[in-house]
């Protein structure tokens, strides 16, 4: 939906409101996908939906109702239900009043090339991978997803925010027919023009060929080079855990021993800065939060020191701080080395393509477990010498960034295990000491 | 019918349409306040078509005549585009036609008929009961309800209408040590989500159970860190359900076995079927694993799946040996040779599912359950028979590789067993396992009186990821000599 259409719809919904405060959030858009498996397209899907969320507040009582029926009668019914539920809800002492009009910078993440991608174009992108795979006697599987939509927020105090955004991702796993080798490649962007399906297919094919018949090496602590995707897989757990309230309440890695939080404390190597910016050209994102606060460029960790933690509006008020919304993007600082240079500088180590089934083990230390997958190699005397069996690790991204050896050039990666667009994240390849691999896996 | 006609006119040999209205209500609280109260409804339809052996799918929330016809044509056009890279055309196994089927979850009280005030009051009373326990600092509690009204029709003449309910009450109590050096949480994993109504919430007895969960959270702060090593594990059904989910239910999904999910969910070590069916020993003789969509109140229960097939109950593992896989109509044909050999008809087991009208249906797991043993052993019998072990209650952290060999599981509560008795609480426990070794190390299975239905809403698979809801029934089990690690670290 365009801006005017959203404004008109929001106005129509707000006209039915009778209580102190009402917020209307409109999410609309189309999604398309094509899946391929065993070198052919297996399924696909195209859908369009538009939903209206109505938040009604009476004093400190509130409730939310969502509907995807947008006619007058349905909208009115949704507003009435939200108001009725709000009346029945007990008072919440932490409820904050709706914001008045705000000033936003315009988001830039719309690409016509992505929005106009149809099933035929998606099928062509898939064939750029399936055909070379079949020709090489390999088996390709993959997924292309596009999203093109808009979000709008309007409230009874006159706030209006609108952003339209496209996103897409293409990921592929190429395996050998006998199942002894597997290679992955993937990319994501807001702009289809920035993706090269043929190149992705070639990278996955190359890895599949090189990963056959992996040998077992002993689990233990290894110097490890993580490709950017593997770094992206782990770094998002640091930003996900950043929340001032949880930290102040003593139930987070970011809790300070003795009370309070770790703002101002050094937690990782001083070469690490983690920031977010909705106008970063590599990771365009929404310029406002779900409750209508403007999102601007923010440093979360600067030179290894915690600079900011997200504060919701209530907690900020209670602690005497400025509210700080979370952001939909992450950028981690890097260096200038190429992946090849990181490998060449390594006497003995492990190269990881990506991680899988990452799950929290201990929130006190941000300890996670997970496994390597689709391209794990041994490095000896500066060269990749053999494919090795996958490992399970138990380690924390915080420990990892304290054992930092070297950083490469940051790039945007597809860091969602599920292969969808996921979090927009730019990270470098890194080389770390003593990464903790705890057991072997027979999975290829 | 309009959609099916339009799809056929556009060249589809087969088509099906699902129209669904999903209503979801959720209430979340922390300590003495309601954090969120929402009531959501989504209504729409999806049309799946088969053109020249390739699938197409399109969906919309606009149920006008013109839009229905447009979406049906769009689905067929997409199927034609998808034919471009076709190698092996899709062929559907035969399925009986159901002309006018209706089915409804076994619900005593429709959760949407219960006043919001009652639900809020129950959660806040449970929170209050937990906060009375010395040392419990934070309490989160929630209720979630779904009602899906789903109408399905296909071009072969099947027409079904189903009303499916799900209910999930949950609570988490967190204790923080005086000096802020440690925090521990206890989740209410002994209350599983179920395919039932508000009656399930009342049966969960949140207010009565809350003090126990709070006391257990506080106890965890002073529990003894585990010494690493090999232990005999006694696993409660509140824990074991997740281990079954990850290490048996997922690897016996037939699409994974044939590589269809290689790019995300992964493949399976239970392959190829020619080398596994009737041959591969998954576990001991006493191990029988059943697939079904029938168990009363289970999350997988339906009258018909999302391609109109009435599900059947089938044994995936029979006396410890792989006996079958989970299938849809497309996949049943892949095992035609095996069913012929067994003297069984080639038919889908009824495992097709889509999370909403906007998503295409594909193979999802039914309830996959470990059947109780004939000896009517109980939890206490398993503990009494164990000399040196760890008893685990409730599911916790979990991770498994993409072929389902190497897994690591935590839990909610861990107890040291010495000389047939529980001697104290442990913490920082996780076990690492290789699936076939873990199940072959099982030497005791509880009986039918200790059988319990574990459940999960978040079973993820497919691209885009779709969430499935399933139950896994099991009694307690014992596994000999499993590798236990200590997950505690210094920050």
Instruction: Please name the member of A66, A131, A439 whose beta carbon is closest to the beta carbon of B432.
Output: A439
pTM of the predicted structure, to 2 decimals: 0.96
Q: How far apart are CA B424 and CA B390, in angstroms?
A: 10
Min Cα distance B273 → chain A (Å) is 14
Min Cα distance A108 → chain B (Å) is 25
Q: What is the pLDDT of residue A327?
A: 87
The alpha helices in B222-272, defined as continuous H runs, are 237-244, 254-257
Q: What is the pLDDT of residue B1?
A: 82
Q: Does A176 touch chain B (CB under 8 A)?
A: no
Q: What is the pLDDT of residue B178?
A: 87
Instruction: Please name the member of B60, B266, B491 whose beta carbon is closest to the beta carbon of A47.
Output: B60
User: Mind listing the domains of chain A with CATH numbers?
Assistant: 3-209 (3.30.2290.10), 214-242+264-308+326-444 (no CATH)
Note the pLDDT tens digit of each residue in B302-323. Answer: 999 999 999 999 999 999 999 9
Q: How confident is the model at residue B491 (pLDDT cuts 50, 70, 90)?
A: low
Note the pLDDT tens digit of each residue in B172-219. Answer: 999 999 888 889 999 999 999 999 999 999 999 999 999 999 999 999
Cα A333 to chain centroid, rounded:
17
3-class DSSP state of B250: helix
* Interface contact flag, A390 B401, Cβ < 8 Å: yes
* Interface contact flag, A49 B428, Cβ < 8 Å: no
Report chain B residues whose CB lies below 8 A from the CB of A127: 84-85
User: Mind listing the domains of chain B with CATH numbers?
Assistant: 2-222 (3.30.2290.10), 229-486 (no CATH)
Q: How confident is the model at residue A140 (pLDDT cuts 50, 70, 90)?
A: very high
Q: How far apart are CA A28 and CA B160, in angstroms?
A: 30
Q: What is the pLDDT of residue A410?
A: 98
The alpha helices in A42-193, defined as continuous H runs, are 72-88, 112-115, 119-135
Q: How far apart are CA A39 and CA A22, in angstroms?
A: 51
Q: Count contacts between A and B (CB, < 8 Å).
A: 278
**ipTM associated with this complex:** 0.93
Containing A197, the helix (H) or strand (E) segment is: helix A197-210
**Is-contact B359 B60, C-beta < 8 A?**
no
What is chain A's mean pLDDT, rounded?
Answer: 97
What average pLDDT score do residues B365-390 get?
97
DSSP structure class, residue B112:
G
Cα B459 to chain centroid, rounded:
5
**Residue B6 pLDDT greater than 90, yes or no:** yes
Interface probe, candidates A357, A360, A365, A420, chain B, greatest B C-beta count within 10 A = A357
Note the pLDDT tens digit of each residue in A45-68. Answer: 999 999 999 999 999 999 999 999
Q: Please give the structure tokens belonging to residue B159.
A: 């027409």
Q: How far apart are CA B114 and CA B95, in angstroms?
A: 39
Q: Does A247 touch chain B (CB under 8 A)?
A: no
| A115-148: b (≥16 Cβ within 10 Å) or e | bebebebbbebbbbbbebbbebebbbbbbbbbbb
CA distances from B267 to A361, B251, B270, B482 (A): 25, 7, 9, 25
Report chain B residues whose CB lies below 8 A from the CB of A367: 487, 489
Percent of chain B with pLDDT over 90: 96
Q: Which of residues 6-65 of A touch B (CB under 8 A)?
A: 31, 33-51, 62-65
Interface probe, candidates A28, A34, A44, A262, chain B, greatest B C-beta count within 10 A = A44
| Shortest CA distance from A146: residue in chain B | B464
Note the pLDDT tens digit of each residue in B256-314. Answer: 999 999 999 999 999 999 999 999 999 999 999 999 999 999 999 999 999 999 999 99
φ, ψ for residue A298, nearest 5 deg: -140, 135
Containing A212, the helix (H) or strand (E) segment is: none
Q: In the block, which residue shows the tokens 């040998």?
A: A215
Report chain B residues whose CB lies below 8 A from the CB of A89: 34, 37, 116, 120
């Amino acid at each position: 939906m365009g801006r005017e259409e959203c404004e008109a719809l929001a106005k129509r919904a707000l006209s039915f409101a009778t209580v102190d405060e009402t917020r209307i959030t409109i999410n609309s858009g189309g999604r398309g996908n094509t899946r391929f498996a065993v070198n052919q397209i297996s399924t696909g899907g195209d859908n369009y939906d538009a939903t209206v969320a109505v938040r009604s507040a009476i004093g400190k009582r509130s409730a939310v109702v969502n509907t995807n029926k947008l006619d007058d009668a349905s909208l009115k019914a949704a507003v009435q239900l939200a108001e009725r539920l709000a009346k029945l809800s007990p008072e919440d002492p932490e409820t904050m009043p709706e914001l008045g009009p705000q000033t936003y910078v315009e988001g830039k993440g719309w690409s016509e090339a992505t929005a106009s991608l149809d099933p035929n174009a998606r099928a062509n992108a898939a064939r750029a991978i399936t055909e070379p795979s079949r020709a090489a006697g390999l088996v390709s599987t993959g997924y292309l997803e596009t999203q093109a939509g808009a979000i709008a927020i309007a409230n009874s105090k006159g706030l209006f925010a609108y952003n339209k955004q496209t996103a897409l991702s293409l990921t592929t796993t190429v395996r050998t027919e006998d199942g002894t080798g597997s290679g992955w490649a993937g990319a994501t962007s807001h702009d289809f023009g920035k993706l090269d399906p043929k190149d992705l297919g070639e990278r996955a094919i190359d890895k599949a060929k090189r990963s056959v018949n992996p040998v077992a090496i002993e689990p233990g602590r290894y110097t490890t080079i993580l490709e950017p995707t593997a770094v992206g897989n782990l770094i998002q757990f640091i930003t996900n855990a950043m929340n001032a309230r949880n930290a102040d309440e003593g139930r987070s890695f970011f809790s300070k021993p003795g009370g309070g939080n770790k703002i101002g404390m050094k937690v990782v190597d001083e070469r690490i800065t983690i920031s977010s910016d909705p106008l970063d050209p590599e990771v365009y994102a929404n310029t406002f939060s779900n409750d209508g606060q403007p999102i601007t460029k923010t440093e979360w960790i600067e030179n290894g020191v915690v600079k900011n933690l997200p504060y919701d509006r209530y907690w900020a008020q209670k602690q005497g701080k400025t509210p700080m919304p979370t952001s939909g993007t992450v950028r981690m600082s890097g260096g200038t080395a190429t992946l090849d240079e990181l490998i060449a500088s390594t006497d003995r180590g492990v190269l990881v393509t990506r991680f899988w089934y990452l799950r929290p083990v201990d929130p006190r230390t941000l300890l996670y477990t997970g496994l390597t997958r689709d391209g794990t190699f041994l490095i000896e005397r500066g060269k990749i010498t053999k494919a090795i069996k996958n490992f399970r690790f138990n380690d924390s991204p915080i420990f990892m960034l304290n054992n930092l050896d070297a950083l490469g050039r940051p790039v945007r990666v597809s860091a969602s295990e599920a292969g969808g667009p996921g979090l927009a994240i730019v990270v470098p390849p890194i080389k770390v000491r003593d990464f903790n691999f705890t057991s072997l896996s027979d999975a290829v | 019918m309009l959609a099916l006609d339009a799809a056929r006119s556009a060249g589809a040999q087969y088509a099906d349409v699902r129209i669904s209205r999903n209503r979801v209500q959720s209430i979340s609280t922390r300590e003495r306040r309601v954090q969120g109260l929402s009531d959501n409804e989504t209504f729409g339809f999806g049309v799946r078509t088969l053109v020249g052996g390739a699938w197409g799918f399109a969906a919309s929330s606009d149920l006008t005549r013109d839009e229905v016809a447009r979406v049906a044509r769009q689905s067929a056009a997409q199927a034609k585009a998808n034919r471009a890279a076709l190698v092996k055309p899709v062929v559907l196994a035969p399925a009986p036609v159901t002309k006018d089927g209706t089915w409804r979850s076994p619900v005593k009280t429709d959760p949407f008929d219960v006043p919001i005030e009652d639900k809020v009051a129950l959660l806040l009373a449970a929170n209050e009961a937990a906060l009375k326990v010395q040392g419990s600092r934070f309490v989160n509690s929630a209720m979630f309800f779904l009602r899906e009204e789903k109408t399905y029709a296909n071009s072969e003449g099947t027409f079904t209408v189903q009303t499916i309910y799900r209910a999930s009450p949950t609570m988490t109590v967190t204790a923080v040590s005086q000096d802020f050096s440690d925090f521990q949480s206890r989740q209410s994993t002994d209350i599983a989500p179920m395919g039932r109504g508000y009656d399930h919430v009342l049966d969960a007895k949140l207010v009565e159970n809350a003090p126990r969960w709070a006391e257990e959270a506080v106890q965890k702060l002073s529990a003894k860190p585990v010494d690493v090593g090999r232990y005999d594990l006694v696993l409660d059904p509140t824990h074991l359900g997740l281990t079954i989910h990850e290490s048996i239910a997922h690897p016996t999904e037939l699409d994974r076995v044939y590589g269809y999910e290689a790019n995300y969910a992964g493949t399976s070590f239970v392959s190829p079927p020619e080398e596994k069916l009737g041959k591969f020993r998954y576990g001991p003789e006493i191990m029988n694993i059943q697939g079904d969509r029938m168990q009363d109140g289970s999350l997988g229960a339906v009258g018909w799946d999302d391609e109109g097939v009435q599900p059947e109950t089938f044994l995936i593992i029979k006396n410890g040996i792989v006996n079958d896989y989970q299938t849809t109509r497309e996949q049943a044909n892949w095992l035609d040779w095996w069913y012929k050999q067994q003297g069984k008809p080639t038919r889908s087991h009824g495992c097709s599912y889509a999370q909403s009208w906007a998503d295409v249906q594909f193979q999802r797991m039914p309830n996959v359950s470990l059947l109780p043993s004939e000896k009517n052993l109980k939890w206490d019998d398993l503990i009494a028979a164990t000399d040196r072990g760890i008893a685990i209650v409730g599911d916790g952290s979990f991770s498994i590789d993409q072929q389902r060999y190497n897994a690591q599981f935590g839990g909610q509560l861990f107890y040291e067993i010495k000389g047939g008795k529980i001697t104290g609480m442990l913490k920082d426990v996780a076990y690492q396992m290789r699936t076939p070794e873990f199940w072959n190390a099982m030497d005791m299975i509880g009986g039918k009186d200790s059988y319990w239905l574990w459940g999960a809403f978040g079973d993820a698979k497919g691209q885009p990821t779709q969430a499935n809801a399933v139950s896994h029934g099991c009694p307690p089990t014992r596994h000999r000599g499993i590798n236990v690690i200590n997950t505690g670290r210094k920050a």
